Amino acid sequence: MSHPKLASIFNKDEKRVDWHDKALWFVRHKRDMSAHSVKGWEELRNLGHGIKAHMLSNLDNYLIQFEENALKNGVQVHWAANGKEHNQIVHKILKEHNAKKIVKSKSMLTEECHLNPYLEADGMEVIDTDLGERIVQLAKEPPSHIVLPAIHKDRHQVDELFQEHLGTKPCDGDPQYLTGEARKHLREKFIQADAAITGVNFAIADTGGFVVCTNEGNADMGAHLAPVHIACMGVEKIIPKQEHLGVFLRLLARSATGQPITTYSSHFKKPQPGSKMHIVIVDNGRSEQLSRPDFRASLHCIRCGACMNTCPIYRRSGGHSYDATIPGPIGSILSPGKDLTKYSSLPFASTLCGSCSDVCPVKIDIHSQLYKWRQIITKNTPQPFVKKQSMKFMGKLFAKPSQYETVGKIARWSLRNLPKSVINSKPNTWGKARDLPIGPKQSFDDWYKERENNKKSNDQ
């Protein structure tokens, strides 16, 4: 289904749209306060952008360097060209260790590869241990946000979900009670786990180590208790040096939630004595994205979610309306690269206001890339007849100022005089959920000319 169709389902619940919008704007506000408190924030963003651009230009070398150092540290390294290979590799490792119970910390890559259903099909139990992820897993839904996976659910819905699946008592959505019960439930799973799977936020080429950022400590808990740790990373997670980590850790938490630092920045380098550690490095379309000059900077993304929190479309249409693993503005750049036809509506789910680019900690030109995709999609995919014709009409209209002025006069008169039922009739899809303002008597052009004339006569 296209983005407008899925968004209209989300928009049916107006109350939810309101609190979803407000909750994300609150996070955006926290991000602003936190970013503004750092002297040299813009320099930090420039540095982040520069390091990522350099890394992408030398990706092959840094990946090989990372592999060499990880092998020296006693870590087993695997390469996967796509999601299928990734799942097969992880499954094989788990089988070799006779692992049946698996705990997993948040990893958008494993979502992208649909790892959970792949392992579950072979009878394995995979428990997502990030609280938000566990909530959506119990609800049998995908995450709707990359940092706040259950942001589309309120505490009362979580209360009902926990009663049904965890046998909790009704608590009127008491967050303290609910998190306490989730903790007890997850502790059991951690203790019983045969293997732990984590994502990777940053993999450091010159040490072979990697860092996983969580606010709940669930990656540590899983990786330290289970005898096998499998870390799954996209090729773009590489950073060249340990010293670059400080730049990204400072940018990531502030941009994501407004925190000065993520509660747990867990550094992994080698397996614990008696344990095994594996790293699976995955391409899955990233090399192709790298080969597109207009879109390669999208691989700078450090998955902070700031572009989602600020996007007026995302906030009011919800993450599920994008029908993609990564929703929001950055997802609308990444998804068409994977399937242009399926995701052709996503680059249009933007006002092109540029707020996403303004908040992006690694300075990705998100709105320019969305605009670029629009041009490609319009040329390469069939467009609705009405849209094509109206664009042609508008093109002709804007070409002649006299025509434009006449139509403007008619439109302003109509907005003032025609009843709402005519203005917001069926063909005007824009008016479905919006009230248009009362049309002014003057155009901006007339108003400006009048103002200038008045100024001149006052000066004389």
Closest by CA to 25, choosing from 260, 450, 382, 355, is 355
- CB nearer ligand SF4, residue 55 or residue 366: 366
- CB nearer ligand SF4, residue 134 or residue 303: 303
Closest by CA to 67, choosing from 230, 219, 203, is 203
Report in angstroms how near the CB of residue 307 gets to ligand SF4 at its nearest: 3
Report in angstroms how near the CB of residue 237 gets to ligand SF4 at its nearest: 12
- CB nearer ligand SF4, residue 6 or residue 360: 360
Report in angstroms how near the CB of residue 243 gets to ligand SF4 at its nearest: 20
Crossing angle of helices 14-36 and 245-257, in 10° steps, is 140
| Secondary structure of residue 331 in the 3-state scheme | helix
Residue 104 near residue 128 (C-beta atoms within 8 A): yes
Closest by CA to 286, choosing from 49, 113, 70, is 113
Question: What would you report as the CA-atom Rg of the chain, rounded to the nearest whole angstrom?
Answer: 25
- CB nearer ligand SF4, residue 3 or residue 303: 303
Report in angstroms how near the CB of residue 145 gets to ligand SF4 at its nearest: 10
Q: How many CA atoms lie within 13 A of 375 on its CB side?
A: 6
| Secondary structure of residue 437 in the 3-state scheme | coil
Residue environment code for 360-384, b if the CB has 16+ CB neighbours within 10 A, otherwise e: bbbbbbbbebbebbbebbeeeeeee
Instruction: Kindly state the DSSP code that residue 435 receives in the 8-state scheme.
Output: P
- CB nearer ligand SF4, residue 204 or residue 362: 362
- CB nearer ligand SF4, residue 143 or residue 271: 143
Report in angstroms how near the CB of residue 56 gets to ligand SF4 at its nearest: 14
Cα 276 to Cα 76: distance, rounded to the nearest angstrom: 8
Report in angstroms how near the CB of residue 281 gets to ligand SF4 at its nearest: 20
- Give the bridge partners for 232, in sequence order: 280
Report in angstroms how near the CB of residue 135 gets to ligand SF4 at its nearest: 21
- CB nearer ligand SF4, residue 244 or residue 303: 303
Residues near ligand SF4 (CB under 6 A): 255, 301-307, 330, 359-362, 364, 366
CA angle 1, 109, 65 (to 5 degrees): 145
